[in-house]
Chains A and B, each alone.
Chain A
Amino acid sequence: MRPLMGRAFPVAIRVAAFLLAPAFLCARADARPLRWAVDPTGGAPYAFADPDHPESIIGFEVELVERIAEHLGQRLHEPVGVEVVRGDYARLAGLVDRGDADLALNGLEEKAMARLGARTTPPYYVAAEVWTLRADGSPVPDARTLPGLSVGTIPGTFAESLLREGGAEVKTYDGGQGEIFDDLLLGRSAAALIDEPVARYYGAVRQGLRLAPSTFATTRYVGVVRGDAFADAISASVSDVLVSGEAASIFSRWGLLSKDTRALCTVPVSLPEPSALARWDEAHRAPSTAITLTTMLVRAAPTLARALGTTVFISLMSMVGAVALGSLLAVASLARSRVLRFASRAYVEVFRGTPLFIQLTVIYFGLPQLGLTLAPFTAGVLGLSLNYAASESENIRSGFLGVPAGLVEAARVLGLSRRATLRHLIAPLALRGALPPMTNDFLALLKDSALVSIVTVTELTRAYMTLATATGAFLEMGIVIAAIYLLAGLPFVVLARRLESSLGKRMRTLGDSR
């Protein structure tokens, strides 16, 4: 065991280093990083996986942040490179707060950020809230028709609060933007109220949907920064990009230079054609030119491979942690001390009885408030380990209790010491009994590891969301990802079976002899 560990440990570090290598948009080793918190599953046109090169993300905000980094470099007199920190839309500001990112900029609304008390950059974009409707001529909702109307939107947005105030029956969608418009097309909702960029890229391209010409309201996008000197430089650089006319050119290329946004920035005399929007439209309007699934998969392969590696690695590390902690808990639960027994029991009940999602969120976003800030990967593995330790302790405990008392007595009569009995008899038999439920738990862990995406680690499920939002291939990608999960678990099932049979055959015959 020991020589293997000796070799395995550096390998583990190397694997971790590979999987966790930060994604730089500008590959400059000497550059000071501008750590940018973004949710690529949010989709076009903000920041999304390039359908042609899913390893990299594109979008108007990607270009904007690249410009911001450039100006930041000029202000600081040193090169600045953008480092992407992937997070969940709802928790991007939290990433800046806990120090994992310098700038969160991803369609974050000024009002929502003010409510959070976050320090923000000047607004860089004004988004119109527009109605998307079925093309069959349903009327544009107004204050009179809104009450009771079923309307789709993104949770936590200004649009949602407008709808709730208006008395609409709000349907929110946490997943890809596509679903809001799918449901609208299918008649599950009457309309969608959403920021114009989303409506333009996901609603307007659908056959059978139209955008209402009027603007219902507007909302301003801001970046979130920390309260330090670097943050001031970032804010100043945002202004630089707006004043220099670069922002307007980017918005124009993406077909997003709205009337209200023009008022925010310098608009150059000559603006580029909306080529990025045209390219998107072309890819999404004409199914004949759509890329085949094979092409899509070949392009996605590096992303998927890396994500699979992350999923398996996190699961393995977490399982090791869970079994180690679970063993201690199991021993405590069988101890003579009532305090130890109670502590073990309490731990198991608390971690088994509360959602893993909440445990992870508390560890990642809650502990920093107490001064303990863990790296994303560490936080993810710790959360899963702590949670699964509860089940593993139960498995190990029942493994121990499952060792027949008669065998222990036989060992005693044969003169084996307690230590020798534990080592040669109880431990192997307990392990053999605990192995099947442990294998089941590992398979569950493999799937539960998807929850660590909330701590900015990109694993399989997050990779799926990113790729599916970028390509629209929710079904095809879903099947592929499901197959990957299935295949990823198989080697461990086989390994467990082997181990089980090498620890001895069936327990059943032991019962026969009694």
Chain B
Amino acid sequence: MSLEVQDLAHRHAGAARASFRDVTFAVRAGELLLLAGLSGSGKSTLLRTIAGLEQASSGTVRVRGEAFVPGDAHALGLVFQTHELFPHLSVLANCTLALTAGRNVSSTEAKNVALAALTELGVEDLAERSPDRLSHGQRQRVAIARALALSPQVLLLDEPSASLDPLARQDLAHAIRRLKRRGIAMLLASHDFALLDVADRLGILADGHLAEEGVTSEVLAAPKHAMTRSVLEAARGSWSQSRTPSGNG
């Protein structure tokens, strides 16, 4: 198993209720788990807790069988919904910084690795650009390339398709397939069911816990949980909405 999450729970400081609790699941190499749930169901918090940005109140995160140490970008990468590209650095420098400043990789080597990652995502021609000159879709792929440059075992993506136009969504799905083929285990938080095509497994986060988790087709065919059905309905609604011409893209 590339990623194993066991009994993970989190509570915001001062909050009466836990954001989520008893979350247990595993993702194999080359497998993608789509984590769905209503807005505010704690999908982002779960991803942030797994990555170590939020303190878990209990539970463990393992990568390839070993306890994950937050900041170990070779084990696990996180792509933020807001991308968080460093605005003062070029696209290439965004991708090389963690290698040169964090890992003591020579700048030539870092450049080669970063360019390879950018090429993988099809954005190598943007290498010298400043992040603020990129479209949302381009930023998304640069952010993935930045994580990819550190060759992580596991990649977490938070709402990767948010505010992407249909074409960029297709490109993203395409890129995700390639990453899966490279054997990267992926956890993707999204309520965009357009990404169901690339999801091997589907998890529903509702009411503070993982209400359902299993092979995508099985979950879709026979939702066991009442909450799952409402989540799926809401998600389908937003999906069809985003496909209408008036959708914000």
- Name A residues whose Cβ lies closer than 8 Å to a Cβ of B: 404, 406-407, 409-417, 420, 423-425, 428-429, 432, 503-510, 512-514
Q: How many Å lie between the Cα of A415 and that of B102 in the bound state?
A: 6
Q: Which residue of B lies closest to A417 (CB)?
A: B102
Q: Which residues of A contact B133 (CB under 8 A)?
A: 505, 509
Q: Which residues of A contact B184 (CB under 8 A)?
A: none
Q: How many Å lie between the Cα of A412 and that of B54 in the bound state?
A: 12
Beyond A420-B101, A505-B130, whether A413 also contacts B53 by CB under 8 A is yes
Beyond A413-B77, A414-B146, A416-B102, whether A503 also contacts B97 by CB under 8 A is no
Contact call A412/B101, Cβ cutoff below 8 A: no
Contact for B132 among A413, A429, A509, CB less than 8 A: A509
Contact call B87/A429, Cβ cutoff below 8 A: yes
Contact call B73/A507, Cβ cutoff below 8 A: no
- Name B residues whose Cβ lies closer than 8 Å to a Cβ of A: 51-53, 70-74, 77-78, 80, 82-89, 97-98, 101-103, 130-133, 136, 139, 146-147, 150
- Provide the main secondary structure of the chain B interface: loop
The smallest C-beta distance from A325 to any residue of chain B, in angstroms, reads 26
Q: How many Å lie between the Cα of A514 and that of B136 in the bound state?
A: 10
A sample of 11 inter-chain contacts (CB < 8 A) reads A406-B80, A407-B87, A410-B80, A410-B85, A414-B102, A416-B98, A420-B102, A424-B101, A505-B133, A513-B85, A513-B132
Beyond A413-B51, A413-B78, whether A432 also contacts B102 by CB under 8 A is no
Contact call B86/A407, Cβ cutoff below 8 A: yes
Q: Which residues of A contact B150 (CB under 8 A)?
A: 414-415
Q: Which residues of B contact A514 (CB under 8 A)?
A: 82
Q: Which residues of A contact B102 (CB under 8 A)?
A: 414-417, 420
Q: Which residue of A lies closest to B93 (CB)?
A: A424
Q: Which residues of B contact A416 (CB under 8 A)?
A: 97-98, 101-102
The smallest C-beta distance from B74 to any residue of chain A, in angstroms, reads 8
Q: Which residues of A contact B84 (CB under 8 A)?
A: 404, 406-407, 409-410
Q: How many Å lie between the Cα of A409 and that of B80 in the bound state?
A: 10
Contact for B88 among A413, A414, A415, A432, CB less than 8 A: A432
Q: Which residue of A lies closest to B75 (CB)?
A: A415
Given A407-B87, A425-B86, A509-B132, 7 other A-B contacts at CB below 8 A?
Answer: A404-B84, A415-B73, A415-B98, A428-B88, A505-B87, A508-B132, A513-B85
Q: How many Å lie between the Cα of A505 and that of B129 in the bound state?
A: 11
- Provide the main secondary structure of the chain A interface: helix
Q: Which residue of B lies closest to A408 (CB)?
A: B84
Contact call B146/A513, Cβ cutoff below 8 A: no
Contact call A504/B88, Cβ cutoff below 8 A: yes
Q: Which residues of B contact A428 (CB under 8 A)?
A: 88
Q: Which residue of B lies closest to A507 (CB)?
A: B87
Q: How many Å lie between the Cα of A509 and that of B135 in the bound state?
A: 11
Q: Which residue of A lies closest to B149 (CB)?
A: A414
Beyond A432-B88, A505-B130, A510-B132, whether A414 also contacts B139 by CB under 8 A is no
Contact call A503/B71, Cβ cutoff below 8 A: no
Q: Which residue of B lies closest to A406 (CB)?
A: B84
Q: How many Å lie between the Cα of A404 and that of B131 in the bound state?
A: 15
Contact call B139/A513, Cβ cutoff below 8 A: yes
Q: Which residue of B lies closest to A423 (CB)?
A: B101
Contact for A513 among B71, B72, B88, B136, CB less than 8 A: B136
Beyond A510-B132, A513-B136, A513-B139, whether A412 also contacts B53 by CB under 8 A is yes
Q: Which residues of A contact B86 (CB under 8 A)?
A: 407, 410-411, 425
Contact call A509/B87, Cβ cutoff below 8 A: yes
Q: How many Å lie between the Cα of A420 and that of B99 in the bound state?
A: 11
Beyond A428-B88, A505-B132, A507-B87, whether A413 also contacts B71 by CB under 8 A is yes
Q: Which residues of B contact A404 (CB under 8 A)?
A: 84
Centre residue among A423, A425, A513 by max chain B CB count within 10 A: A513
The smallest C-beta distance from B66 to any residue of chain A, in angstroms, reads 16
Q: Which residues of A contact B70 (CB under 8 A)?
A: 412
Q: How many Å lie between the Cα of A415 and that of B152 in the bound state?
A: 12
Q: How many Å lie between the Cα of A282 and that of B198 in the bound state?
A: 99
Q: Which residue of B lies closest to A432 (CB)?
A: B88
Q: Which residue of A lies closest to B98 (CB)?
A: A414
The smallest C-beta distance from B210 to any residue of chain A, in angstroms, reads 23
Contact call A506/B132, Cβ cutoff below 8 A: yes
Q: How many Å lie between the Cα of A373 and that of B132 in the bound state?
A: 54
Q: How many Å lie between the Cα of A407 and that of B150 in the bound state?
A: 17
Q: How many Å lie between the Cα of A513 and that of B85 in the bound state?
A: 10
The smallest C-beta distance from A496 to any residue of chain B, in angstroms, reads 16
Centre residue among B51, B70, B82 by max chain A CB count within 10 A: B82
Q: Which residues of A contact B83 (CB under 8 A)?
A: 513
Q: Which residues of B contact A415 (CB under 8 A)?
A: 71-74, 98, 102-103, 150
Q: Which residues of A contact B139 (CB under 8 A)?
A: 513
Q: How many Å lie between the Cα of A428 and that of B97 in the bound state?
A: 14
Q: How many Å lie between the Cα of A173 and that of B51 in the bound state?
A: 71
Q: How many Å lie between the Cα of A409 and that of B86 in the bound state?
A: 11
Centre residue among A404, A409, A507 by max chain B CB count within 10 A: A409
The smallest C-beta distance from B56 to any residue of chain A, in angstroms, reads 15
Q: How many Å lie between the Cα of A407 and that of B88 in the bound state?
A: 11
Q: Which residues of B contact A413 (CB under 8 A)?
A: 51-53, 71, 73, 77-78, 147
The smallest C-beta distance from B239 to any residue of chain A, in angstroms, reads 23
The smallest C-beta distance from B78 to any residue of chain A, in angstroms, reads 5
Contact call A504/B80, Cβ cutoff below 8 A: no
The smallest C-beta distance from B90 to any residue of chain A, in angstroms, reads 10
Centre residue among A413, A424, A504, A509 by max chain B CB count within 10 A: A413
Centre residue among A424, A428, A432, A505 by max chain B CB count within 10 A: A424
Contact call B53/A424, Cβ cutoff below 8 A: no
The smallest C-beta distance from B155 to any residue of chain A, in angstroms, reads 11
A-B complex: 3 closest residue pairs judged by Cβ atoms: A504-B88, A509-B132, A410-B84
Q: Which residue of A lies closest to B76 (CB)?
A: A413
The smallest C-beta distance from B177 to any residue of chain A, in angstroms, reads 24
Contact call A409/B101, Cβ cutoff below 8 A: no
Q: How many Å lie between the Cα of A504 and that of B147 in the bound state?
A: 22
Centre residue among B89, B101, B147, B150 by max chain A CB count within 10 A: B101
The smallest C-beta distance from B103 to any residue of chain A, in angstroms, reads 7
Q: Which residue of A lies closest to B130 (CB)?
A: A505
